[in-house]
């Protein structure tokens, strides 16, 4: 039985959702009591206000401490939620693992995600690890460094890891599991 002080990892997938072999889906399948997906009304036509509201609702209803796990546009959604600090709920978040955030401001960003521009600029009010790839087609490494600095996140760089998704060979993601465990341990010490 999971107690109210045991943290819940909220998975926040990106545009088009995370498929069944994606590391976020695997983590949910392997640990159903520890992971929950933030569901969106429309995965294919994202609207920032809807996505942020869905995240806020999931955090508010969790009933226990939270660690956020965002991939791609999901990572940007987490930063937008934190910037808006809806309902003051940021104090319930122990930390965030932000994997391959998509640069919604880049010139060739898909039209479907441009509505998330501008990229949030405020420092996150909780510890965060931003994981970037040296060859992510959706965010250049220099841009990931800039975003990590703005958000006050520690940057971890994976060489030649693409968008750190299934197409890039990431079903299993042991580095991600290690960084998530680090955030969980740090949050537990501060609780």
The pLDDT tens digits for 22-38 are 999 999 999 999 999 99
Rounded to the nearest integer, the mean pLDDT of the chain is 93
CB-CB neighbours of 146 under 10 Å: 15
Q: Give yes or no for residue 4 having a pLDDT over 80.
A: no
CATH code for 9-190? 3.40.50.1820
Q: Give yes or no for residue 1 having a pLDDT over 50.
A: no
Structure token digits, residue 146: 């800039």
pLDDT band at 5 (very low <50, low <70, confident <90, very high): confident
Can you give the pLDDT at residue 127?
Answer: 96
pLDDT band at 191 (very low <50, low <70, confident <90, very high): very low
Q: How far is the CA of 97 from the CAs of 11, 132, 181, in angstroms?
A: 10, 11, 10
Percent of the chain exceeding pLDDT 90 equals: 89
69-75 average pLDDT score: 98
Q: Give yes or no for residue 142 having a pLDDT over 70.
A: yes
Can you give the pLDDT at residue 86?
Answer: 52
Can you give the pLDDT at residue 81?
Answer: 96
Can you give the pLDDT at residue 15?
Answer: 98
The pLDDT tens digits for 77-117 are 999 999 997 556 667 899 999 999 999 999 999 999 999 99
Can you give the pLDDT at residue 87?
Answer: 54
Query: Which of 160, 167, 159, 72 has its CA nearest to residue 110?
Result: 72
C-alpha to C-alpha distance for 47 and 160, rounded to whole angstroms = 30
C-alpha to C-alpha distance for 29 and 183, rounded to whole angstroms = 20
Structural domain spans, the chain: 9-190
Are 15 and 112 in contact by the 8 Å Cβ rule? The answer is yes
**What is the separation, in whole angstroms, between the first and last Cα of the chain?**
20
Question: Strand 154-158 vs strand 128-133: parallel, antiparallel, or unpaired?
Answer: parallel
């Amino acid at each position: 039985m999971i107690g109210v002080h045991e943290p819940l990892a909220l998975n926040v997938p990106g545009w088009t959702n995370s498929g069944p072999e994606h590391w976020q889906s695997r983590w949910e399948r392997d640990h159903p009591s520890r992971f929950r997906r933030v569901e969106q009304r429309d995965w294919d036509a994202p609207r920032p206000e809807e996505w942020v509201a869905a995240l806020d609702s999931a955090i508010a209803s969790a009933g226990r401490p939270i660690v956020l796990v965002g991939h791609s546009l999901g990572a940007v959604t987490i930063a937008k939620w934190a910037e808006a600090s809806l309902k003051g709920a940021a104090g319930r978040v122990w930390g965030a693992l932000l994997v391959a955030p998509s640069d919604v401001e880049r010139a060739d960003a898909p039209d479907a995600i441009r509505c998330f521009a501008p990229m949030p600029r405020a420092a996150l009010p909780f510890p965060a690890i931003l994981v970037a790839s040296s060859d992510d087609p959706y965010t250049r490494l220099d841009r990931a460094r800039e975003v990590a600095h703005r958000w006050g996140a520690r940057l971890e760089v994976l060489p030649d890891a693409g968008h750190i998704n299934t197409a890039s060979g990431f079903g299993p993601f042991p580095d991600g599991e290690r960084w998530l465990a680090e955030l969980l341990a740090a949050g537990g010490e501060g609780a």
